[in-house]
Structure 1
């Protein structure tokens, strides 16, 4: 996927689950977005820790971009 398209897609995704409009998502917001899945808070927190470069406990646009690029999008 071209970088500009991916960037816009990830930004749209971020805005859709960023309930407090902080420009970041935390474990609670991500869990809420996942709905009634079997994913546990500890799993979400571990995922965030993997991509949270600045170690603030949240994912921003650049960190989410890194994730999506790592899975080949």
Structure 2
């Protein structure tokens, strides 16, 4: 992982089990690290803090300052 991330560590350890299908909405994301352990095509990052938003966007991931579409929440 590029930097420690609680959600990514929870998925890796089995403490957090993500659904098998559908998009996952990651609220107040500050790192794109979850995309290293979950299919990045399923992730939608909500990040209103501009530096975090830009970091996630630079990684080529879907990011929005305000979530509007339905998705599972992580």
Instruction: Give the TM interval when normalised to the shorter protein.
Output: under 0.3
In our comparison, the structure showing a higher alpha carbon Rg is 1
- TM (norm. structure 2) is 0.26
- Normalized per residue, the structure richer in strand is 2
- Normalized per residue, the structure richer in helix is 1
